[in-house]
Structure 1
Amino acid sequence: MKTLGLIGGTSWHSTIEYYRLIHAYAAQFLDVSQNPNLLIYSQNIQLMREQNIPKINKTYLEIAHKLECAGAEAILICANTPHMVYKYVQPKINIPILHIAEAIGREAATHGLKRLGLLANKPTSKGSFIPEYLSEKFGIETIIPTEVVIAQSHHYISTELTQGVFSDASKAFYLEQIQVLASAGAEGVILGCTELPLLISPKESPIRLISTTQLHAQMAVDFIFGKLEL
């Protein structure tokens, strides 16, 4: 069993969900008296809210080094947006970062999906770290919503979802946007905020939902038990 380092805190609600899911999925390999070896570094979400990219890169690199020195054999970032640091941090450490887009791409490939919509906050929607990875490694096209939709999505995520508020208004908004993306040709929709799967269930969507949290957590467990080929 390998030791995995988790970088959490963005938000603490999502970190708890990752921790819960990793333990739940690990049960397929362990008996009830055991649990996986995890190292967790939970930081202040304010770092991401400031969107000072050099500071974010520097901080995540420092954390990754601490986890590596503590014995982590891979890093899992417990949120979508902080994967913006991947290209900066990965070349500077000696252990792999399990990229969330790798989990997305593998799931999409399993179902033959080549066009995916993306619902997320502003940095994730406008960043290249998910669409570029999916395009280069899996040949998947990512459909990005309009600026107005991105702004509204960012509002709900930053002021409600990451603070544990799951309102009827936010749910109605995201269900409507899933319909819009489906009409634009999306074969599935990436729920690119860790809290979104807590708001929207697959049975409520007309097309396949790609729940990054669950897929990423399963990828983590596969690594821990040597079932993941990188």
Structure 2
Amino acid sequence: MKTLGMIGGTSWHSTIEYYRLINQLAAKVIGEQANPPLIIHSINIELMREQNREKINAKYLETSLKLQEVGADAIIICANTPHMVYDFVQPKIEIPILHIADATGKAAKKIGLKKLGLLGNKPTMTGNFIPKVLSKNYQIETIIPDEKYIPQAHQYVSKELTQGVFSEEAKSFFKKQINLLQTRGADGIILGCTELPLLIKSDDVDIPTLATTDLHAQMGVDFIFDKL
């Protein structure tokens, strides 16, 4: 098995979910009596809240180099938003970073999706780190909610979902956003926040949903067993 380096902490709830999923998925290959080699480095979430892009890039590069030095064969960043560092960090290290948009794009292409609505916090929805990969590598278009809804979406994600709060108000809001994205031509929805699949279940909506955390964790396991 290859060793996977995990960069977590943003949030620690998300990191736990990644660790759980990777071990559960690996157990299907090697059995419950064993587990894969993982190295976890948890970053203080305050770094992301400062929104200092230079500091964020520097910290993720420093962490990636440390994981590389101690034997990681690849890196998986355990959240959507920190993938904003990919273009800065990847050229400066010798091991691959498994991009969450590649995991999403492969799954979308497999079922023939061509236009995806993206839900998450503000940096994830307004950033280019997911749409760029989907467009370039998979010829998939990405759309996001109307600008007037983005602050409310961000509030629900940052103040409720990442704190383990799943209100009916939040569920109603995101279901409305999914309906609006459908009317604009989306044939699938990216649940671009670890906690969103806990709020919105596949049978809550009549459109395919792509849970990035699940897909990304599977990508990590495929790497561990040399199946990518």
Tell me whether the two structures share a fold, i.e. TM-score over 0.5. yes
CA deviation vs aligned residue, 1:46-86 (integer Å, no higher than 9, x gap): 11111100000000000001111111000000000000000
Distance in 2 of aligned mates of 1:198 and 1:66 = 33
Distance in 1 of aligned mates of 2:189 and 2:104 = 10
Distance in 2 of aligned mates of 1:149 and 1:219 = 31
Identity %: 63
Counting only pairs closer than 5 Å after superposition, residues 64-75 of structure 1 correspond to structure 2 as: 64-75=64-75
Distance in 2 of aligned mates of 1:32 and 1:155 = 39
Aligned partner letter, 1:96:
P
Q: Give the match for residue 113 of structure 2.
A: 113
Which structure 1 segments of 5+ residues have no match? Answer: none
Q: Give the match for residue 194 of structure 1.
A: 194
1:87 aligns with 2:87: yes
Aligned partner letter, 2:97:
I
Cα distance, 1:92 vs. partner?
0.3
Which structure 2 segments of 5+ residues have no match? Answer: none
Distance in 1 of aligned mates of 2:21 and 2:195 = 13
Aligned partner letter, 1:105:
G
Secondary structure, aligned partner of 1:28: helix
Counting only pairs closer than 5 Å after superposition, residues 59-208 of structure 1 correspond to structure 2 as: 59-208=59-208
Distance in 1 of aligned mates of 2:161 and 2:66 = 29
Aligned partner letter, 2:58:
K
Distance in 2 of aligned mates of 1:49 and 1:208 = 31
Cα distance, 1:143 vs. partner?
0.9
The count of residues paired between Structure 1 and Structure 2 equals 228
TM-score, structure 2 length as denominator?
Answer: 0.98
Cα distance, 1:161 vs. partner?
1.0
Secondary structure, aligned partner of 1:26: helix
Secondary structure, aligned partner of 2:30: coil
Displacement over 3 Å in runs of 4+: none
Secondary structure, aligned partner of 2:7: strand
CA deviation vs aligned residue, 1:89-124 (integer Å, no higher than 9, x gap): 000000000000000100010001000000111111
